[in-house]
C-alpha cells in the first residue's frame, strides 16, 4: 500500500471508528460487534506504524494509552473552576430560592442535575480538536492529564463542529468497573479503593496512561466554560448543544419552574439513587438563564446562581470494642472490627472489615477508639477514620499476631502481598472454610449442609475433609443437636445426589487457588476427567485461552500433593463422579444457531425450565449467558416477575424474549 492509499484508508477508519465509538459510549447503542471494532482499531494502528506521518492527535488509536509520563504539568484555568455552595435539607433549598427571588424576581426556572461522585475536569478544544484536559486542582491551577483523559472513550477527540471552546465535566468510575477493580486488588492482596470517586481520581493521576485506559472510566459533561460568541442563552440550551457536538451529558436532568418541583426531584432521587450504574452524592440546582446567572454573579468561592444538595451522609460514630481475626480457606488472616451496635443506612452494624495490618497502621486504629463507620457503596461496612481527639488514653494499639490464631503455625507474607497467610494445609480454620465452600451452591450444592451444620460436624470431629462427608451415616447425624429424623434423611439424600455432579462442580469445590467456577468448567470441558487434568503439564494448561501462568502453577502444585491424591482416591471409592457430563463447548464458527456468539441475560422466574438448564442449552449452542444487562447484551429472556434487568434492557433498546420464544428457538 502506498502513502496515498494508506492516507485514504486511515481517513475511512477514523470516520468509522469515531462513529462506532460514539454509538457505543455516548448513545449506548452499539451498531457493530466488539470484535469488528477491535479489528478496525488494529488495522489503524498497523497503518500508523507503517506510515508514522499519518498518526494525528485525534486518531482513535490514541485512546489505548501513550508513553509513561515523568510528571503532570501545571495548568492555569483561564476561567476559575469554582466550587458550589451546599444545601443539606429542604429549608436550605428554600433559603436558596428566596435569595434568587430577591435578586432577579419571580420569572426564572431551575435546571436540576445529578451530582456525579467523581473528579471535576476541564477539556479544551481548538477548531474542534481536543487539545488539553486538566483537573480542577485548587480551582485556579490544575494538572494536565490530557493523555489519561484521551483513554475515556466517551470524550470526543474531534467535535462535530470546528469550534474553539472549553467545557467542564465529571469523570467517574461506573460501579461495575469499581467492583471489578477492587476484586482484582483483593485477589492480589492489595488494599481496595474506598469508593469509586477515589478510584477515578487515582486512575486519572496515573503516570502510565495505559493503566488509566484499563480502568474503564466514563464522563458526563455539565457546562460550557466560555460561551463567547455562541448563540446560547440558557444552561439547558448549552447542554443540548454539547449533545449536538458529540459530548455525553446526563439525560436525567430536569427543568423545574418552582422550588416545590426541585424538592420533588431531589426526594425522588434519594429513593432511586441505588438503581443507578454510577455513584451520585447529591443534586445540583442551577438557575437556567445565563443572563440571570451573570446578574447573580459569584462569591470568591462559588456561584450565587447554583447550589449542591448533598444527600444525608450515611456515616455514623461508634466505639471499636475489639478486633477479631478470622482465617479464610486460602489461609489469609483478616482482621475485623467488632463495634458497639449502630444503625447505618437502615441496618444494624456490629462488624466492619479492616482488610489487613497495613490499613490498621495507616489509619492508626486502636481498640477502644471512637470511629466513623459507613457502608461502602451502601452495602459493606467499613471504618472510615478514627476520632483521635476523643481518645482518653485507655485505648490499646493492635498488632497482628506472628502465628495463626487457629493452629499456631507461623504466619507469612508472600511477595507482593499485604495479607498475612497461614500456610498450614491442616489448619482447622482453613479446613472448615474449605468444607463450607465445597458444599456451596456453585460447588457441590448439597442442600441442608449450611455453614452452621458444617461447623457443628467439624466441631464434633465427624468430618475432617470433604471425603468424610460421604462417610456420614444416619446414626452419626441423629446425634447432632437440632438434627431430627427427617433432616438427617434429607441430608443423606442430598449428599448421595451430589455424587453425580459433573466434574466442574467437584473441581470448583476442591478450592484450588485461583480456579473459579468459570475456569473449573473450562478445564473440565478440555480434559474430560479428573485423572487427565491431574496429569496435565504447565505447558498444556497455559495453552488453554483462559488459563494463565499463575493458575497453571497452582493447578500443577495442587495435584502434585500427596494429600490431594489420597483425597481423590477416597472420593472415587465413595462413588463421586470424576467426569465432565456437560456439553462440549461449541465454537461460533461451528454453530449455525441463533445464539452463536451472542450474549444472553436470563431474568425473572422461568416456568418450564430452570435457569441453569436454559444456560446450559444456550452455551451448548455457542452463546454466552451473563449475569447483568449492559450495552454488550444481545438478548434478554424475561420470565415472570422480571425486575430491574428487564427495565435496563428496555432502556437500552435490547431485544427481549418471553420464555415461550426461548423454548421455540431452542427446539429448532
Give me the torsion for CA of 542, 544, 546, 550, rounded to 10°: -10
Is 242:221 a contact under the CB 8 Å cutoff?
yes
Angle at 148 between CA 243 and CA 308, to 5 degrees: 55
CB 202 within 8 A of CB 192: no
Strands 624-626 and 599-603, by their bridges, are parallel
Catalytic residue, chosen from 29, 55, 74, 115, is: 115
d(CA 663, CA 618): 11
Q: How far is CA 393 from CA 18, 361, 368, 372, in A?
A: 62, 18, 9, 19
| Angstrom distances, CA of residue 348 to CA of 317, 343, 371, 548 | 13, 4, 16, 42
Long-range CB contacts for residues 42-45, cutoff 8 Å, separation at least 24? 43/9, 43/13, 44/10, 44/13, 44/14, 44/17
Please give the torsion angle defined by the CA atoms of residues 160, 162, 168 and 170, in that order, rounded to the nearest 10 degrees: 30
- Pairwise CA distance, residues 288 & 234, whole Å: 5
What is the rounded CA–CA span in Å between residue 345 and residue 228?
45
Residues forming a β-bridge with 337 = 323, 352
Is residue 115 part of the annotated active site? The answer reads yes
User: What is the grid cell recorded at 321?
Assistant: 470494642
| CA 451, chain centre distance (Å) | 27
> Virtual CA dihedral for 525, 531, 534, 540, nearest 10 degrees?
-50
The Cα–Cα gap between 282 and 316 comes to: 19
Cα 136 from chain centre? 25
Q: Which residues make beta-bridge pairs with 336?
A: 324, 353
Give dist(CA 97, CA 108) in Å, integer. 11
Cα 606 to Cα 658: distance, rounded to the nearest angstrom:
9
Cα Rg of the chain, angstroms:
29
Strand order from edge to edge, sheet including 306-310: 85-87, 306-310, 280-287, 110-116, 254-256
Grid cell locating 201:
481520581
Q: In terms of DSSP bridges, do strands 635-638 and 599-603 run parallel, antiparallel, or are they unpaired?
A: parallel
User: What would the DSSP string read from start to end of 324-351?
Assistant: EEEE-TT-EEEEEEEEEEEEETTEEEEE
Q: How many CB atoms lie within 10 A of CB 2?
A: 7
CA–CA distance, 661 with 638 (Å, rounded to integer) = 10
- The residues assigned a catalytic role are 115
Amino acid at each position: 500500500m502506498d502513502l496515498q492509499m494508506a492516507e485514504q484508508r486511515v481517513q475511512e477508519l477514523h470516520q468509522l471508528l469515531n462513529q462506532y465509538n460514539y454509538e457505543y459510549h455516548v448513545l449506548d447503542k452499539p451498531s457493530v460487534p466488539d470484535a469488528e471494532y477491535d479489528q478496525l482499531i488494529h488495522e489503524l494502528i498497523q497503518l500508523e506504524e507503517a506510515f508514522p506521518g499519518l498518526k494525528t492527535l485525534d486518531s482513535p488509536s490514541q485512546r489505548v494509552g501513550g508513553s509513561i509520563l515523568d510528571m503532570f504539568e501545571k495548568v492555569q484555568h483561564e476561567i476559575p473552576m469554582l466550587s458550589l455552595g451546599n444545601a443539606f435539607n429542604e429549608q436550605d433549598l428554600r433559603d436558596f430560592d428566596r435569595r434568587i427571588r430577591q435578586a432577579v424576581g419571580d420569572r426564572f426556572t431551575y435546571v436540576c442535575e445529578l451530582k456525579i461522585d467523581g473528579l471535576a475536569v476541564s477539556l479544551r478544544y481548538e477548531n474542534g480538536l481536543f487539545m488539553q484536559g486538566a483537573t480542577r486542582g485548587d480551582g485556579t491551577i490544575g494538572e494536565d492529564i490530557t493523555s489519561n483523559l484521551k483513554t475515556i472513550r466517551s470524550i470526543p477527540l474531534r467535535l462535530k463542529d470546528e469550534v474553539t471552546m472549553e467545557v467542564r465535566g465529571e469523570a467517574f468510575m461506573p460501579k461495575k468497573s469499581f467492583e471489578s477493580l477492587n476484586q482484582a486488588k483483593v485477589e492480589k492482596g492489595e488494599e481496595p479503593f474506598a469508593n469509586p470517586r477515589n478510584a477515578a481520581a487515582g486512575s486519572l493521576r496515573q503516570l502510565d496512561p495505559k493503566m488509566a485506559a484499563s480502568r474503564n472510566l466514563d464522563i458526563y459533561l455539565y457546562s460550557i466554560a466560555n460561551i463567547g460568541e455562541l448563540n446560547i442563552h440558557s444552561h439547558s440550551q448549552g447542554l443540548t448543544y454539547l449533545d449536538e457536538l458529540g459530548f455525553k451529558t446526563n439525560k436525567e436532568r430536569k427543568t423545574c419552574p418552582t422550588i416545590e418541583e426541585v424538592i420533588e426531584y431531589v426526594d425522588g432521587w434519594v429513593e432511586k439513587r441505588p438503581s443507578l450504574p454510577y455513584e451520585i452524592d447529591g443534586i445540583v440546582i442551577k438557575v437556567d438563564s445565563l443572563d440571570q446567572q451573570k446578574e447573580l454573579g459569584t462569591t470568591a468561592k462559588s456561584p450565587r446562581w447554583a447550589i449542591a444538595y448533598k444527600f444525608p451522609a450515611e456515616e455514623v460514630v461508634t466505639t471499636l470494642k475489639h478486633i477479631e481475626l478470622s482465617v479464610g480457606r486460602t489461609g489469609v488472616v483478616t482482621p475485623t472490627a467488632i463495634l458497639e451496635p449502630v444503625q447505618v443506612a437502615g441496618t444494624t452494624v456490629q462488624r466492619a472489615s479492616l482488610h489487613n495490618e497495613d490499613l490498621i497502621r495507616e489509619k492508626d486504629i486502636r481498640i477502644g477508639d471512637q470511629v466513623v463507620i459507613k457502608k461502602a457503596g451502601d452495602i459493606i461496612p467499613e471504618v472510615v477514620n478514627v476520632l483521635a481527639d476523643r481518645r482518653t488514653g485507655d485505648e490499646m494499639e493492635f498488632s497482628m499476631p506472628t502465628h495463626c490464631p487457629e493452629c499456631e503455625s507461623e504466619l507469612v507474607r508472600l511477595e507482593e502481598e499485604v495479607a498475612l497467610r497461614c500456610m498450614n494445609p491442616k489448619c482447622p480454620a482453613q479446613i472448615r472454610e474449605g468444607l463450607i465452600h465445597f458444599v456451596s451452591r456453585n460447588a457441590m450444592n448439597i442442600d441442608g449442609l449450611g455453614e452452621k451444620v458444617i461447623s457443628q460436624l467439624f466441631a464434633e470431629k465427624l468430618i475432617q475433609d470433604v471425603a468424610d462427608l460421604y462417610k456420614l451415616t444416619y446414626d452419626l447425624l441423629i446425634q447432632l443437636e437440632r438434627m431430627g429424623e427427617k433432616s438427617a434423611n434429607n441430608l443423606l439424600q442430598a449428599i448421595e445426589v451430589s455424587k453425580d455432579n459433573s466434574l466442574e462442580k467437584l473441581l470448583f469445590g476442591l478450592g484450588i487457588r485461583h480456579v473459579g467456577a468459570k475456569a473449573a468448567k473450562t478445564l473440565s470441558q478440555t480434559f474430560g476427567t479428573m485423572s487427565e487434568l491431574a496429569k496435565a503439564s504447565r505447558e498444556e494448561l497455559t495453552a488453554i485461552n483462559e488459563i494463565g501462568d499463575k493458575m497453571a502453577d497452582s493447578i500443577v502444585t495442587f495435584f502434585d500433593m500427596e494429600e490431594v491424591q489420597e483425597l481423590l482416591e477416597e472420593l472415587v471409592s465413595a462413588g463421586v463422579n470424576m467426569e465432565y457430563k456437560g456439553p462440549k463447548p461449541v465454537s461460533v464458527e461451528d454453530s449455525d444457531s441463533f445464539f452463536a456468539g451472542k450474549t444472553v441475560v436470563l431474568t425473572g422466574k422461568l416456568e418450564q425450565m430452570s435457569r441453569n438448564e436454559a444456560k446450559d442449552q444456550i452455551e451448548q449452542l455457542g452463546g454466552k449467558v451473563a449475569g447483568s444487562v449492559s450495552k454488550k447484551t444481545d438478548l434478554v429472556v424475561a420470565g415472570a416477575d422480571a425486575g430491574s434487568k428487564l427495565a435496563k434492557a428496555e432502556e437500552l433498546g435490547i431485544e427481549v424474549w418471553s420464555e415461550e420464544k426461548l423454548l421455540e428457538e431452542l427446539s429448532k
